[in-house]
Structure 1
Amino acid sequence: MAKLTLLYAKAALTGFTRRGDALPPSSSDVEVTVDPGRLSRYNRVCGFGARDELPITYPHVLGFESQLRLMTGPGFPFPLPGLVHVANRIRRRRPLRASEPLSLHVALADLRPHERGRQFDVVTTASVDGEEVWVDVSTYLRREGGTAKEPAPGAEAPAPTARWRLPADLGRRYADASGDRNPIHLHPLTAKAFGFPRAIAHGMWSKARCVAAFEGRLPDAYEVDVRFKAPIPLPGEVDFSAAPADGGWRFALWSDRPHLEGVISG
């Protein structure tokens, strides 16, 4: 955890001088094992039951330090503050057990134009004994002009399946379980320093919490693809909706606006 705090400090001190038009050809390979205590905290804060099977979102946590190192490393063209996590797609080829050591490979990929700037992917793969079993693609946006799109006129929230109340300390609890101690999630004062009136929930917490709502109803191999629409202020309330679609599920989080939209497919 201390290493991640130092990486965020490095990003805050050096990031604003960064400029560039290409991603560095760097990657990271690391062998990881699951800490049962940390997994238990993650399961509690995200709503998963206590099982030996890893939640589909959990290897993202195991690779997060490597992801952050690449985005604070030499040659990375953008300051970390201000990058917006706009999408995440995870495919699981089979269930992963907490007892299985994982080989993680993390790489930067596909810097491309976006109507509001530029975007790129951080691709993390997990293998067991040389077999690729899990793939995570996180898409980040570097804003460089343009304005955020508002929901289309007449857009209506889907009928809610559940309402979740999110406490003020949710960001700190998820940070303790995941290691993601980005200041915008921890406290109103640190969030205000980055332009947010209140702390906001982690995007990957919101994805994990949605997936947890389907626990026991998903196949061994599946994909979860989400788009992060707007920050969720803390404390707050969000409506969760879910409906069958094309052999899988569509789901969303709303309050007075859409916060997340996602699809689960086989």
Structure 2
Amino acid sequence: MYARAAIGLVPGFNRPGWLPEAVLERAGVTVDRAHLADYSRVCGFRLSDTLPATYPHVLAFPLAFRLMSRRDFPFPVVGLVHVANRIELHRPIDADEPLDLSVHAADLREHPRGRQLDVVATASVGGEVVWRDVSTYLRREGKPSGGRREGEPPEPPAASAQWRLTPRVGTDYARVSGDHNPIHTSRLGARLFGFARPIAHGMWSKARCLAALEGRLPEAYTVDVSFKLPVFLPSTVAFSAAPEWSFALHSARSGKPHLAGSVTPV
């Protein structure tokens, strides 16, 4: 699939101006307990028989990547920027429950910096949707519109924890998620796409934040995050959480925002 994605970058590769109508599905997906334990360790979750809310995302990732690598997808998957993610956990999911996964693309729309689209994944048990994931991607096109914002940037919230992140964050998450994009695992690969150093996966950042809230989350909830500035590896980040279920990730050194999120109980 990565070879197919690379071919999509070749000049003259014709693409449609609309989203494919395809729905990719995989039925009866079972959880490998060793993989779940490895994922939980990498993201900071405790070992449990209940799946972390972000875990089905890695189960659905092969379907999502295959969808975005198709010839009838409007953009090459390499170069798309993951700008937001919403997960709806309808109820706790036991690790022994087989999952029926479905992935499709939706809502191609204009954006001041280009165009956006959503990749929607669902997990069902016995015909009941128990989990839904909406990943929003941006295709940058042309120059950003508008001038600089006036005034000083807001002060970051007080940190409740600091995490020192090494380059292994990128390589370890690539191993457990299947997302081997070189911007996360290679200094040279990152430089080819305009980054001075490898950057952490956005979904690792989201998972790590939810792990910090583990034990306090409701049984059913929606968790929204916006990915701001990239988290370079290595670096130190500051995590903050508020009683009203908002949380954030900032640079511990400069205070620049990396992620802003909120949890809504259902």
Asked whether the two chains share a fold, i.e. TM above 0.5, the reply is: yes
Equivalent residues of 1:250, 1:264 under 8 A apart: yes
Match of 1:60 in 2: 57
Match of 1:205 in 2: 204
Residues 18/80 of structure 1: CA separation in 2 closer, same or farther (3 Å cut) = farther
Q: In 1, Cα distance between the equivalents of 2:34 and 2:188? A: 29
Q: In 1, Cα distance between the equivalents of 2:250 and 2:150? A: 15
Q: In 2, Cα distance between the equivalents of 1:18 and 1:50? A: 46
Instruction: Specify which of 88, 113, 121 is matched with residue 118 of structure 2.
Output: 121
Equivalent residues of 2:9, 2:78 under 8 A apart: yes
The alignment yields a C-alpha RMSD, in angstroms, of: 1.4
1:120-199 matches, within 5 Å, as 120-147=117-144, 153-154=151-152, 155-199=154-198
Q: When the two structures are aligned, how many residues end up with a matched partner? A: 257
Matched residue of 1:9: which SS?
helix
After TM superposition, give the deviation of residue 151 of structure 1 in Å: 7.4
Instruction: Specify which of 20, 25, 40 is matched with residue 16 of structure 2.
Output: 20
After TM superposition, give the deviation of residue 156 of structure 1 in Å: 1.2
Match of 1:253 in 2: 249
Residues 264/73 of structure 1: CA separation in 2 closer, same or farther (3 Å cut) = same
Match of 1:98 in 2: 95
After TM superposition, give the deviation of residue 216 of structure 1 in Å: 0.6
Percentage identity across aligned positions? 58
- Structure 2: segments with no counterpart, 5+ residues: none
Equivalent residues of 2:169, 2:200 under 8 A apart: yes
Equivalent residues of 1:24, 1:75 under 8 A apart: yes
Equivalent residues of 2:82, 2:227 under 8 A apart: yes
Q: Which moved more, 1:221-230 or 1:7-16?
A: 7-16
TM-score w.r.t. length of structure 2: 0.93
TM-score w.r.t. length of structure 1: 0.93
Q: In 1, Cα distance between the equivalents of 2:65 and 2:38? A: 21
Q: Describe the superposition over 1:1-30 as per-residue Cα deviations: whole angstroms up to 9, x where unpaired.
A: xxxxxx122211223424332001111110
Matched residue of 2:67: which SS?
helix
Residues 132/152 of structure 1: CA separation in 2 closer, same or farther (3 Å cut) = farther
